Amino acid sequence: MTTIYETNEWHGYGKQNYYWYEYRLEGNTVVKYKCNRFKSFNGQESNWEESETAEDGWEIDDPNMPEWLHNYL
């Protein structure tokens, strides 16, 4: 798995909640992940936590893959 493109981070809801997209090459498939980092309080201290979910995916030769993404392969 290799990250081929990452968008700029943007603020989500709340002061310490951020999102960005990562496009990763996994074999012959490009997968778009929505990534999130946020600060949570566990009762004693605040910690940064991260999560990600796969949103979309395309085979390398898929005509539905965004054209600009071919430049990063």
Q: Domain residue spans in the chain? A: 2-72
Query: Residue 44 — pLDDT band, cuts 50, 70, 90?
Result: confident
Beta bridge partners of 47: 40
State the pLDDT at residue 15.
Answer: 79
- Does the reported pTM lie above 0.75? yes
Distances (CA, A) of 33 to 11, 17, 47, 51, 60: 17, 17, 22, 10, 16
Asked whether 53 and 32 are in contact (CB, 8 A), the reply is no
Cβ–Cβ < 8 Å for 49, 60 = no
Q: What percent of the chain has pLDDT over 90?
A: 79
Across the chain, what does the average pLDDT equal?
93
Backbone φ, ψ for residue 46 (5° rounding): -95, 135
Question: Residue written as tokens 């005509």?
Answer: 63
Q: pLDDT digits over 15-43, tens only?
A: 789 999 999 999 999 999 999 999 888 88
